[in-house]
Structure 1
């Protein structure tokens, strides 16, 4: 029997968490990963070598890899000293090296996928250097993914430069053949929407007959989604690429312990309110479940529960 094709779109920690769970199910996975990061090791390599930032791609490769834990640890190892090496992770350097050898970032990712025995395909949203910009509610502008949440102002929209980056042909084929397209979880304006701003990607998603679901964040993100409800998250996506894109939204219904919500509140984060009536007016099916995993004072999505819920939609 042919396996179902699942395409997951995003970046950051949320995407890696989901993929660790999803790879344990009998589905064909394609991860489309944002390449707008400009902070830390990724930002330095991007600036110095003029390549797409490797950080989010590295995390996704590790999440989908089937290798010894020590190899995974080695790939994620970050140098704490050494002139020029300090702050770089070995995986980022390997991706930069493979890009140099093959002459192409996407090809470098492909070759490293083989080395790491990756279950599925990992594809950068664009195969070139792109810069994320934001227009803020007061009419001012911010350049660079890492600077956007630091502005402290409401985000009106984000946009890419160049505005029409070319996706890989493989990405478009994966979307055309998908049975399920998943957006998120992850930072709304800096991890999810940048992928959809690649014009051909959003065009193919709109035409696709796949079931399209958005995994809503559990908490708001300071500087990015302050005060946002679940419907506000969806509306922000629609404001960028047009309405009627999603069939369903997956939301957490599990109670957040007081100690956690208190700790998050100190950082300016609040639980995302699920405004069901508004979502239903948008013709989006609301699927709720207990989806939390408590990780060392942090709230995370439970990778297996989340994956199980998604696979049950197929």
Structure 2
């Protein structure tokens, strides 16, 4: 654990849009960032590349690299460009293809990420949760076994248990080192079953989190997610995470208190999503500290605001700084 008077070492764990939003805010406060990103995506351009070429899905990795880029440059837009036409190329993202090309040139995915990070002047490091080819599988409440992240999301029953196939998948060594040296470890925001928990299922990750002296923070989602967390409260999210770990790995939970306007609520009704109830007292009864604030962005979707979220995280980190360094 470092003396983080200037720049704390922060490890963030997750995937999808939520992780990218978080990184955009945190990179303004520290360059000592490590993003550990799930690699079980099987949809869109990432899924096609994975199925056709056997590479790890690059989409979430690409989004994190762009989020951590030093400036919003033309190169960032290039990496996010999606082809609209062309036989075989339509629907593919240029950044995904560049990561594929760099993997073939350098010989491995981690080296490809490092090279692309230099091109984008990335502020921090992005690490895949595992280099093993893993598939997400779920046992549903109705007893069905559903294979693949997309199929799990689309299945019309609640998830009972989720796991990786193969179960014995290894972490990238840099991940465990970053966790043990961190000042703060952050899980979320993001899809509970398909973005956060898959990272915790990789061998050694939860034990490294438990052993780390870092302050451990879970960021509750603002809205429930159809097919994953229908009608979940913040407490329900925590209980699911606890089901997958042998030791306590959460010290703080960050909750949103900001209201969501009727226009956005109506939009989410079509997705059968509602604001996540806070369960404040029940969470504190578990011994987990609660930090709550208005964290909603001013965009047309009910996402976290990157700067608001980063500010409250930094407050938690500095509140937990060693006494002599405050």
Q: Fold match, TM over 0.5?
A: yes
1:308 counterpart = 2:311: yes
Distance in 1 between residues matched to 2:46 and 2:139, nearest whole Å: 24
Cα RMSD of the aligned pairs, angstroms, is 1.2
Residue of structure 2 equivalent to 1:75: 79
User: 1:185-204, aligned counterparts within 5 Å?
Assistant: 185-204=189-208
Distance in 2 between residues matched to 1:82 and 1:64, nearest whole Å: 30
1:7 counterpart = 2:30: no
Asked if the contact 2:155/2:227 (under 8 Å) is kept, the reply is yes
Asked if the contact 1:253/1:290 (under 8 Å) is kept, the reply is yes
Aligned to 2:150, what secondary structure does the other structure show? coil
1:149 Cα deviation after fit: 1.4
Distance in 2 between residues matched to 1:197 and 1:169, nearest whole Å: 15
1:27 Cα deviation after fit: 4.7
Residue of structure 1 equivalent to 2:164: 160
Structure having the larger proportion of residues in strand: 1
* Structure 2: gaps spanning 5 or more residues: 318-326
Distance in 2 between residues matched to 1:43 and 1:88, nearest whole Å: 10
1:257 Cα deviation after fit: 1.5
Q: Structure 1's 6 and 111: CA in aligned 2 closer, same or farther, altered over 3 A?
A: same
1:67 Cα deviation after fit: 4.4
Residue of structure 2 equivalent to 1:117: 121
Distance in 1 between residues matched to 2:89 and 2:230, nearest whole Å: 36
1:258-293 deviation line (CA, Å, top 9, x unaligned)? 222222122200111111122112211111001011
Asked if the contact 1:46/1:129 (under 8 Å) is kept, the reply is no
* Structure 1: gaps spanning 5 or more residues: none
TM-score, normalised via structure 2 length: 0.93
Distance in 1 between residues matched to 2:237 and 2:31, nearest whole Å: 28
Distance in 2 between residues matched to 1:148 and 1:230, nearest whole Å: 21
Asked if the contact 1:51/1:128 (under 8 Å) is kept, the reply is no
Distance in 2 between residues matched to 1:282 and 1:158, nearest whole Å: 24
Q: 1:273 aligns with which of 277, 284, 294?
A: 277
Equivalent residue pairs, number: 313
Aligned to 2:62, what secondary structure does the other structure show? helix
1:41 Cα deviation after fit: 0.4
Aligned to 1:182, what secondary structure does the other structure show? strand
Residue of structure 2 equivalent to 1:149: 153
Structure 1 residue ranges, 4+ long, deviating more than 6 angstroms after superposition: none
